[in-house]
Chains A and B, each alone.
Chain A
Amino acid sequence: MSPKPDAVDIGPILARYPCEEGQASLMGLLQDIQEEHGYLPVQALERVSAHLKVPIANIHGVVSFYAQFSLVPRGMHIIKMCMGTACHIRGGQGVLEEIRSVLAIRDRETTADRLFTLEVVRCLGTCFLAPVIMIDEKYYGSLTPAKVRKILAGYRDGK
């Protein structure tokens, strides 16, 4: 998942998707690239365009439509801040503001040290933990601004 330089090798991924399938394969392909490389490098998209014979503008249209795709490298840890309904009424906004102020980034931005990327998402489906964040694959629930500050500090200290 760690971000790599732009020259990523997506050959093995392309091989899994027959070029005849065209645009039908696009989403799966983009998801695989992002999963393996952490984001969608422009060079990779150009190769996808040539492979599937789908215009690059068309691919950009798809990439920019879906919230999960990123055109820029992301941080080592992805913080998913849930702003679903339950999290909202149980104080999610305060937690979000705390994350923003501690890390000095906004939604979909990455810290200068590339340690964290913040992504505000709509419902993680774990409303019993509200307000909840997910850092990579780990959930942190029933948060308060003070608790989230501690959690972030823990990651900063390399815990």
Chain B
Amino acid sequence: MKRNLTRLAGAGALEALRADLARRRDPRRLRVRICMTGCRAQGAEEVLKAFEAEIARRGLGERVDLLATGCHGFCAQAPVLVVDPHDFFYGKVTPADVSEIVESSLLADRPVERLLYTDPASGVKVQKAAEVPFYKEQVKIVLRNCGLIDPRDIRQYIERDGYAAAAKALTSLSPEQVIEQVSLAGLRGRGGAGFPTGRKWSLARASQSAVKYLVCNADEGDPGAFMDRAVLEGDPHSVLEGMILAAYAIGATEGVVYVRAEYPIAVEHLKIAIADAQALGLLGSDILGTGFCFNIKIRKGSGAFVCGEETALMASIEGRRGMPRPRPPFPAQSGIWGRPTCINNVETLANIPPILLKGGAWYSGIGTEKSKGTKVFALAGKVNNTGLVEVPMGIPLRKVVFDIGGGIPEGLAFKAVQTGGPSGGCIPRAFLDQPVDYESLAAVGSIMGSGGMIVADERTCVVDFSRFFLEFIQEESCGKCVPCRIGTKRMLEILEDICAGRGRAEDLDTLQELASAIKDTALCGLGQTAPNPVLTTMKYFGEEYRAHIAEGKCPALVCKSLIRYDILADKCTGCMACLKACPADAVTGEKKKVHEIHQDKCIKCGACHAACRFDAITIT
């Protein structure tokens, strides 16, 4: 990446740079935007290389821009790319497709039909990205630049109004006025708890101290949530600009991004972004000639889920075991090294620049009465269109799962959706028309959380699902307080028993009792919310628990101790496929004769079921 960045003397110089960049932008120019973050896992780098080679071979370098962008959101179609100015959307692209894309779309302005997205509902091929049903209902504020710009090029961010909000605030707004706009916007913390951001900033502003810290919580540990990763990778400057604004508002001079070590691309892009922002005088001392100083450092996490909790996160930044402590004192009074500290989540911070630029009133016009703006959800699990979705608060759950998410694969039935990860709840079909906002989710026993949305189909066992979350909590519990350390262990043991067919009638009452004690007495949010998956599944799927306990049956056919595999004599052709696939030698039989599964040897791995081409193996 070319870097001849000279320090901007002031807001005027930034504006001049933006005007210059905009003037040079030709809207008709050919451009290929390839996701080079999440899609790397599906071979996007090879596709990019193929484009480079093909463009060089045909001598098109002067006419075509090849952009390595962040996440486009539609991860199920990875690797994805868009050809501008036509807005042709291609998914599941391989290097072998590249020469045809260049030939048709770049040289002849025609789409490559076979690579276009097919709407499964209508069977119609969709040409333009904007018309793909997955994108139609979305409103992009946080993800406004993801997939559109090269995150390693600060100029592309600047061209799209980047750092204009920071310039505006630093030159024409007081810190109090910045807080006022954020309060007016009604923005609430996107990390999970939903605390009003404006109020958090007021508290930190009110603390008197020569040194204050502003921390960006990028320790996205909720299994199934990946929006913070996408923002950091695809648009790191929006987070940095949000941090500058937050720091100005509360009076902080030191910033820290605490980022998960499992996100190497995010760390790499953050490093580049910080260096470039420093070079342009947008970070460091005397930012844009206004006298305001703010530095940002990166701290990498080391794999502890509890470090998403703010007091644990601060302990980790101080180089200690990441264990929470009781509050008060709140971080706004006494945080890192005893100094006032304000901690905001990645998505929260990425919302700040547009709010300052367009005004709090604009933002509060989106969403519901108490939940303003948009929310990014990571849609995953048993859903067709896995990916990142940004929608206005208050959108019905059904719209997210079915219209945007494309429903359940293999024609199976929807069972539930889990929001908020291990701290959240399982929402059944009956609530599909509920709006998605902080209050409505809480009303059904779940939480917004960081925005993970895992869809479960009829083949998901909710008892096993709850067991999974408690196993997670047990592993991640820091061990400091008894309710979480031992209480969740007892709950896990009970659930393991139920899944193994050893459930007892009184188990459900014991689970209830433990759950309410843990909710009331655990030290931090991790423990207090840990019983939520169990409580909601017991409430909405009680009959499934009872089937496990009373009848020794797992209705979803998941719990191994409660199911058996058998061969249907009338369908078995004696092909020996299952016999060969069985790792436990539990299948016997001769060629062209009906096989048999020996239950004493069967380990219930399902290999025979997967291998059978004649539907001759049943699970009961």
Residues of A within 8 A of B (CB): 22-28, 30-31, 54, 61-62, 65-69, 83-86, 88-90, 94, 97, 101, 121-130, 132, 137, 139, 141, 144-146
Least CB distance, B122 to chain A, in whole angstroms:
23
Q: List 5 A-B contacts (CB under 8 A).
A: A24-B318, A86-B381, A123-B262, A129-B42, A141-B41
- Which residues in A have their C-beta under 8 angstroms from that of B355? none
Asked if B251 lies at the interface with its beta carbon under 8 angstroms from chain A, I say no
Do A139 and B316 contact each other (CB < 8 Å), given the known contacts A127-B386, A145-B607?
Answer: no
Bound CA–CA A22/B319 (angstroms): 9
Please tell me if the beta carbons of B302 and A66 are within 8 angstroms of each other in the complex: yes
Interface positions, chain B 445-472, Cβ under 8 Å from A, are 452, 454, 456, 460, 465, 468-469, 472
Q: How many residues of B contact A (CB 8 A)?
A: 59
Please tell me if the beta carbons of A68 and B607 are within 8 angstroms of each other in the complex: no
Q: Which of B222, B264, B465 contacts A123 (CB 8 A)?
A: B222
Bound CA–CA A145/B223 (angstroms): 22
Least CB distance, B471 to chain A, in whole angstroms:
9
Asked if B166 lies at the interface with its beta carbon under 8 angstroms from chain A, I say no
Please tell me if the beta carbons of A94 and B605 are within 8 angstroms of each other in the complex: yes
Please tell me if the beta carbons of B299 and A123 are within 8 angstroms of each other in the complex: no
Please tell me if the beta carbons of A128 and B610 are within 8 angstroms of each other in the complex: no
In this complex, what residue of A is CB-closest to B475?
Answer: A122
Least CB distance, B588 to chain A, in whole angstroms:
21
- Centre residue among A26, A30, A129 by max chain B CB count within 10 A: A129
Bound CA–CA A129/B226 (angstroms): 13
In this complex, what residue of B is CB-closest to A123?
Answer: B223
Q: Which of B380, B418, B465, B475 contacts A128 (CB 8 A)?
A: B380
Least CB distance, A57 to chain B, in whole angstroms:
12
Do A85 and B229 contact each other (CB < 8 Å), given the known contacts A27-B319, A66-B303, A90-B381?
Answer: no
Binary contact readout B369-388 vs A (1 if CB under 8 angstroms, 0 otherwise) = 00000000010111000110
Bound CA–CA A123/B78 (angstroms): 18
Please tell me if the beta carbons of B229 and A125 are within 8 angstroms of each other in the complex: yes
- Which residues in B have their C-beta under 8 angstroms from that of A132? 41
Bound CA–CA A27/B299 (angstroms): 9
Least CB distance, B523 to chain A, in whole angstroms:
16
Do A68 and B302 contact each other (CB < 8 Å), given the known contacts A94-B605, A97-B605, A130-B380?
Answer: yes
Bound CA–CA A24/B337 (angstroms): 10
Please tell me if the beta carbons of A129 and B321 are within 8 angstroms of each other in the complex: no
Per CB-CB distance, the 3 closest pairs between chain A and chain B, nearest first, are A127-B380, A84-B223, A66-B302
Asked if B566 lies at the interface with its beta carbon under 8 angstroms from chain A, I say no
Interface positions, chain B 261-307, Cβ under 8 Å from A, are 261-264, 299-305
Least CB distance, B145 to chain A, in whole angstroms:
19
Asked if B496 lies at the interface with its beta carbon under 8 angstroms from chain A, I say no
Do A86 and B380 contact each other (CB < 8 Å), given the known contacts A94-B605, A97-B605, A145-B607?
Answer: yes
- Which residues in A have their C-beta under 8 angstroms from that of B78? 128
- Which residues in B have their C-beta under 8 angstroms from that of A22? 319
- Which residues in A have their C-beta under 8 angstroms from that of B303? 66-68, 121
Bound CA–CA A101/B605 (angstroms): 12
Asked if B309 lies at the interface with its beta carbon under 8 angstroms from chain A, I say no
Please tell me if the beta carbons of B38 and A89 are within 8 angstroms of each other in the complex: no
Bound CA–CA A125/B264 (angstroms): 12
Bound CA–CA A103/B465 (angstroms): 27
Q: Which of A54, A69, A129, A145 contacts B605 (CB 8 A)?
A: A145
- Which residues in A have their C-beta under 8 angstroms from that of B75? 126-128
- Which residues in A have their C-beta under 8 angstroms from that of B607? 145-146
Least CB distance, A42 to chain B, in whole angstroms:
18
Asked if B583 lies at the interface with its beta carbon under 8 angstroms from chain A, I say yes
- Which residues in B have their C-beta under 8 angstroms from that of A137? 264
Asked if B221 lies at the interface with its beta carbon under 8 angstroms from chain A, I say yes
In this complex, what residue of B is CB-closest to A127?
Answer: B380
Please tell me if the beta carbons of B382 and A90 are within 8 angstroms of each other in the complex: yes
In this complex, what residue of A is CB-closest to B558?
Answer: A89
Least CB distance, A68 to chain B, in whole angstroms:
4
- Which residues in B have their C-beta under 8 angstroms from that of A28? 299-300
Q: Which of B224, B300, B605 contacts A85 (CB 8 A)?
A: B224
In this complex, what residue of B is CB-closest to A87?
Answer: B223
Q: Which of B223, B319, B381, B386 contacts A122 (CB 8 A)?
A: B223
Bound CA–CA A31/B583 (angstroms): 40
- Which residues in A have their C-beta under 8 angstroms from that of B322? 65-66
Please tell me if the beta carbons of B41 and A126 are within 8 angstroms of each other in the complex: yes
Please tell me if the beta carbons of A128 and B38 are within 8 angstroms of each other in the complex: yes
Please tell me if the beta carbons of B468 and A65 are within 8 angstroms of each other in the complex: no
Least CB distance, B47 to chain A, in whole angstroms:
15
In this complex, what residue of B is CB-closest to A27?
Answer: B319
- Centre residue among A66, A125, A137 by max chain B CB count within 10 A: A125
Asked if B153 lies at the interface with its beta carbon under 8 angstroms from chain A, I say no
Asked if B421 lies at the interface with its beta carbon under 8 angstroms from chain A, I say yes
Bound CA–CA A107/B386 (angstroms): 28
In this complex, what residue of B is CB-closest to A26?
Answer: B319
Least CB distance, B425 to chain A, in whole angstroms:
13
Do A25 and B319 contact each other (CB < 8 Å), given the known contacts A124-B262, A126-B38?
Answer: yes
Please tell me if the beta carbons of B378 and A122 are within 8 angstroms of each other in the complex: no
- Centre residue among B76, B320, B452, B476 by max chain A CB count within 10 A: B320
Bound CA–CA A152/B316 (angstroms): 36
- Which residues in A have their C-beta under 8 angstroms from that of B321? 61-62, 65
Bound CA–CA A132/B262 (angstroms): 14
- Centre residue among A28, A30, A123, A130 by max chain B CB count within 10 A: A123
- Which residues in A have their C-beta under 8 angstroms from that of B220? 125
Please tell me if the beta carbons of A101 and B454 are within 8 angstroms of each other in the complex: no
Interface positions, chain B 246-270, Cβ under 8 Å from A, are 261-264
Bound CA–CA A89/B300 (angstroms): 29
Bound CA–CA A144/B38 (angstroms): 21
Please tell me if the beta carbons of A67 and B41 are within 8 angstroms of each other in the complex: no
Please tell me if the beta carbons of A121 and B304 are within 8 angstroms of each other in the complex: no
Interface positions, chain B 34-78, Cβ under 8 Å from A, are 38, 40-42, 75-76, 78
Please tell me if the beta carbons of A85 and B223 are within 8 angstroms of each other in the complex: yes
Please tell me if the beta carbons of B38 and A123 are within 8 angstroms of each other in the complex: no
Bound CA–CA A54/B318 (angstroms): 13
